[in-house]
Amino acid sequence: MSSHWCVWCKEHLNTWDQLNVASSVELWTLEHMVKHRHKIIREKIKDPKEICGIVDFPVWDFIEPLNYIIPQLHIEIGLINYILEKFYDFIEEQIKVAPPKEQMALNSMILSDVARIKAKERLDEWHDIFNVDLAMQCYSKSELLKALRAKNLMEA
């Protein structure tokens, strides 16, 4: 089946790969879309296969679906998602899965690395915020000690 028909036909996405040029499919029209949307609301349909991509009433009720421009970005994203899905399936089938102990060790390493990064961020934040206060406290203490020495009132 041509991609033009697949985008606009009433068939669910999962059946598109089974269709071909000889397949007889009914295309969406504005009237069909509006009737189907009313049916979805009336019957409280939730199943995506029954919704068939009709999530609202047509925004422009004067342009038939056959006159739409194919959304190139969505098609490209869909193709990339399909390729990634097949790639991940291939990896699962071809590459040996790590044993549970190795997975636990890897997870522990990742968690400890994240904890280290967060601790470093907190330390840097402390240095940025409180280090100035600490320096001021040290300076104040030294000035106080100088004043006490000058008056011979040193601590016991």
Which residues touch 144 (CB under 8 Å, ≥6 apart)? none
Give the helix, strand, coil percentages of the chain, each rounded to 5.
70, 0, 30
Question: Residue 142 has which token pair?
Answer: 């030294």
Structural domain spans, the chain: 3-94, 98-156
> Residue 135: is its pLDDT beyond 90?
no
Instruction: Tell me the pTM.
Output: 0.39
12-16, 36-40, 90-94, 126-130: the lowest-pLDDT one: 12-16
Per-residue pLDDT tens digits for 98-107:
788 988 998 8
Angle at 52 between CA 46 and CA 56, to 5 degrees: 75
Per-residue pLDDT tens digits for 21-77:
666 777 788 898 899 999 999 999 988 888 887 888 888 888 887 776 667 777 788
Question: Which residues, listed in sequence order, are joined to residue 27 by a DSSP beta bridge?
Answer: 9
Stated as kind and residue range, the H or E segment containing 114 is: helix 100-150
